[in-house]
Structure 1
């Protein structure tokens, strides 16, 4: 019962952190209030909150303000930088792939998986240490994320014997716990999305794994951000909400 409640609560949170979902919920709530109570002051208040919320999420300057502190936590480390070459392995955490039999190879990958796998392959060309791929079986998939990422790396010419799979875990906490036996006391070059680095690094350190962050898949931008609303900013805000909530959940699970 508790596990089921936690699952649905998590699904609700994932639904609400999508800016457009919250925007429409606020508008529909305002409409319902107006239908049942014409004099309710909350009708206009909720409409104003909805407009301000979606405007905040869709502006480049505000969405960057929320996401940039996470993505800029660790510096960019290029493949020729000697700092990561003291690692025992390159670690690629799972993200998401698509299984479309009639699609081309490049269309089978979410942007986060594409960036992580490609960077790991480039790093291997520079320094051929093992690549560890992790991630379990997501809903409506035939392959685990680890198996899919192994397939990606094989396509890019990485030798099969240099790819180690850990096909377990449906989230970062589960993935890193499954990696404990394999990586205890070792150092990894962690290739994951820039906004995800802090949370993933902390989870690995809880498993006694030393981490050299290799951030990829940046969404935040530099330069003049004073522009009008755009869809990219909504995606940026969604990722910021997701990671800040993930960090909060991580903090309370460790300290409570």
Structure 2
């Protein structure tokens, strides 16, 4: 089996929702055979579901990943490259490229275009493999960037990296000793920066679209479980696992 696919399957199996479903299955199977085990499995599933959807806890976990870098303003010297790390898309005939990008990928692109407006001297590098689609993510993001007004000749593509480490490994030789801005989701940025630094690239971080946004107001409904927070917790958990793997790999 392909190592990349194996990693994805394993990570999917240990996501919060997968664990909750597994505990519920155990509770059902052992309802009559081992009532005590069934009870504790059901209790654990309920507790885990509550914690995963509880906004204060979910926000604290995510904020620990997102609060490492401030938003990009402007570099005090010319920017050579703006790197957009790969995301997810689905090619659909009749849709513009901007509508084919998953929200996180589109948000990274929008942030990169904003930075390009500040530094039109820069070239944009898009990255990411096809992931089973007819088009690579790098190419799809390039198409979307052109729709947003970026000249075609200002965009370079890396069509084959399957994960963040491969992106750093393949892009680094092109951008060594250059003034580089690295754009990715705010929660993903610490891990991405570490990989690029490992390959000798000291990029300027540019976090895109943080999950946790606070205006200082906290309504009572904030303390009620919310389905969207399960997705946020899952994203934070996935990124935390990625950082643990990165740490073990040195």
Q: Which residue does the alignment assign to 2:12?
A: 14
1:23 aligns with 2:20: yes
After superposing the two structures, state which structure 1 stretch, 86-95 or 240-249, moved more. 86-95
Q: List 4+ stretches of structure 1 deviating above 6 A.
A: none
Q: Which residue does the alignment assign to 2:182?
A: 190
- Give 1:113-132 correspondences, 5 Å limit: 113-128=105-120, 129-132=122-125
1:100 aligns with 2:92: yes
Change (3 A) 1:24 1:61: same
Provide Cα deviations, 1:191-249, integer angstroms capped at 9, x if missing partner. Answer: 11000000000000111111111101211232427421112211110111010000000
Question: Does the 8 Å contact 2:4/2:162 carry over to 1?
Answer: no
Question: Does the 8 Å contact 2:172/2:201 carry over to 1?
Answer: yes
How far is the alpha carbon of 1:8 from its aligned partner?
A: 2.9
TM-score by length of 1: 0.89
Q: Which residue does the alignment assign to 1:246?
A: 242
Change (3 A) 1:10 1:121: closer
Q: Which residue does the alignment assign to 2:68?
A: 73
- Give 1:126-141 correspondences, 5 Å limit: 126-128=118-120, 129-139=122-132, 141=133
Which residue among 185, 200, 211 is the counterpart of 2:203? 211
CA distance in 2, matches of 1:104, 1:133: 17
TM-score by length of 2: 0.91
Runs of 5+ consecutive residues of structure 2 not aligned to the other structure: none
1:157 aligns with 2:149: yes
CA distance in 2, matches of 1:194, 1:184: 23
Question: Does the 8 Å contact 2:101/2:141 carry over to 1?
Answer: no
